[in-house]
């Protein structure tokens, strides 16, 4: 009988990580989810015969090493990270601890173990900086030019992965992905926050003039690409994961508002939009050329943006009360709920 693959997913209670956990279990992997359960974690208790949950801060290198050594994984997908740019502007040190030091702790385990373990490092397109309106998309030749403390912390962790891979021959892959959206995303990000504010009929904050451009990928499409990378035998590669769905922030907000207005014709939800002082160092545009990734993995995003956005809106509407329990920290300080 073929032995089941043992997979560690860090941040497996986060937005992308929790999607990966479900997919991996469906594919009959034995999964250890390592998560410290921060304010943006999904606190739903999820049980499965092939799932082990370990509450642990990756900054704790000693106990992380013990947990990894005991589980003895065949592969590690490192999703855990502080990811909200606003928070990085307020307190950069937290992002150094969570995104750089915690990554190095995993790499130290990998360099010391005798077993060959595949390592997939989940990063972001923000490491490449900001594009102007007519600039070419980010590609594998794009230079790193991070513009926020968050982006700098992710860029730093990427560099540590490559340097450890080179120095200690660690078998790694790095993914730089565009903005994710979908069910269960913590409502501090643009799409879920706008949906929640529409449900509540409260003001929707939009930075600056709302014309900053982002490329959006449905989280399921992103996770399918990651699983394909997991099955690849070729180490030390970088994969750019995108979707061709470039949208202005304000157009995303308009689309969500118009959905609610169509359902409740007695109220114009666009009236909730409130333009606020722009974020410091706000990147103008992100866009990814994922041609090489698509060819290498035989992968491309399947989701229609409009249909997936509608699916996401319906999820938050139908599960609004449930989400208050899933994300209890926000219920406590009433920031969103």
pLDDT computed for residue 1 by the predictor: 54
Confidence of residue 334 (pLDDT cuts 50, 70, 90): low
Position 335 scores a pLDDT of 61
Query: Which residues face 222 on adjacent strands?
Result: none
Q: What is the percentage of the chain residues whose pLDDT exceeds 70?
A: 96
Centroid of chain to Cα 3: 30
Active site residue 168: no
CB atoms near residue 149 (< 10 Å): 23
- Residues 6 or more apart from 124 whose CB is under 8 A from it? 83, 151, 154, 176, 177
- Active-site choice (126, 224, 283, 330): 126
Catalytic entry in 29, 57, 82, 150: 150
Percent of residues, the chain, with pLDDT higher than 90: 90
Mean pLDDT of 116-144: 97
Check if the beta carbon of residue 213 is closer than 8 Å to that of residue 247.
yes
- 162-193, pLDDT tens digit by residue? 999 999 999 999 999 999 999 999 999 999 99
Report the C-alpha gap between 303 and 181 in whole angstroms. 11
In this prediction, residue 326 carries a pLDDT of 84
Q: What value does the mean pLDDT take over residues 231-258?
A: 94
Average pLDDT over residues 122-131: 98
- Whether 320 shows a pLDDT value over 90: the answer reads yes
Residues composing the chain: 337
Report residue 290 CA to chain centroid gap: 17
User: Which one of the listed residues 57, 125, 215, 224 is annotated catalytic?
Assistant: 125
DSSP codes joined into one string, 217-256:
EEHHHHHHHHHHHHH----SEEEEE--S-EEEHHHHHHHH
Question: Both tokens of residue 57?
Answer: 């801060």
Helix (H, G, I), strand (E, B) or coil at 31: strand
Higher per-residue pLDDT: 328 or 110: 110
Which pLDDT score is estimated for 264? 94
Angle at Cα 109 formed by Cα 100 and Cα 125, nearest 5°? Answer: 35
- Alpha-carbon gap, residue 168 to 236, rounded angstroms: 12
pLDDT at 116 over 70: yes
Dihedral sign, Cα of residue 185, residue 329, residue 62, residue 71: negative
Contact partners, residue 75, CB within 8 Å, separation at least 6:
5, 6, 7, 8, 117, 118, 119, 120, 230
> Which residues are within 8 A (CB) of 259 and not within 5 positions of it... i.e. 6 or more apart?
310, 313
Q: What is the structure's pLDDT at 40?
A: 87
User: What mean pLDDT comes out for the span 63-71?
Assistant: 98
**Residue 150 a catalytic site member:** yes
Is the model's pLDDT at 323 over the cut of 70? yes
């Amino acid at each position: 009988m073929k032995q089941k693959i043992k997979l560690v997913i860090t941040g497996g209670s986060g937005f992308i990580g929790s999607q990966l956990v479900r997919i991996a279990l469906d594919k009959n992997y034995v999964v250890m989810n390592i998560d410290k359960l921060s304010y943006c974690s999904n606190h739903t208790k999820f049980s499965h015969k092939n799932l082990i949950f370990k509450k642990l801060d990756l900054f704790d290198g000693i106990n992380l090493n013990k947990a990894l050594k005991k589980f003895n994984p065949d592969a590690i997908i490192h999703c855990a990270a502080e990811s909200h740019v606003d928070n990085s502007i307020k307190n950069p040190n937290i992002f150094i601890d969570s995104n750089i030091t915690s990554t190095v702790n995993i790499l130290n385990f990998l360099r010391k173990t005798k077993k060959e373990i595949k390592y997939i490092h989940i990063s972001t397109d923000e490491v490449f900086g900001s594009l102007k309106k007519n600039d070419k998309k980010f590609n594998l030749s794009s230079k790193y030019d991070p513009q926020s403390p968050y982006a700098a912390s992710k860029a730093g962790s990427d560099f540590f992965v490559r340097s450890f891979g080179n120095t200690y021959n660690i078998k790694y892959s790095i993914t730089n992905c565009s903005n994710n959206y979908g069910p269960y995303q913590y409502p501090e990000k643009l799409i879920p926050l706008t949906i929640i504010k529409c449900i509540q009929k409260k003001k929707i904050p939009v930075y600056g003039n709302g014309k900053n451009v982002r490329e959006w990928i449905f989280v399921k499409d992103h996770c399918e690409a990651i699983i394909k990378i997991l099955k690849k035998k070729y180490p030390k590669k970088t994969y750019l994961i995108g979707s061709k769905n470039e949208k202005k922030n304000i157009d995303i907000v308009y689309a969500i508002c118009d959905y609610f207005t169509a359902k409740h014709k007695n109220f114009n939800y666009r009236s909730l939009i409130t333009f606020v002082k722009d974020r410091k160092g706000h990147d103008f545009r992100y866009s990814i050329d994922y041609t090489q990734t698509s060819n290498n993995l035989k992968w491309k995003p399947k989701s229609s943006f409009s249909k997936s956005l509608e699916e996401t809106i319906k999820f938050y509407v139908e599960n609004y009360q449930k989400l208050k329990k899933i994300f209890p920290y926000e219920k406590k300080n009433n920031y969103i709920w």
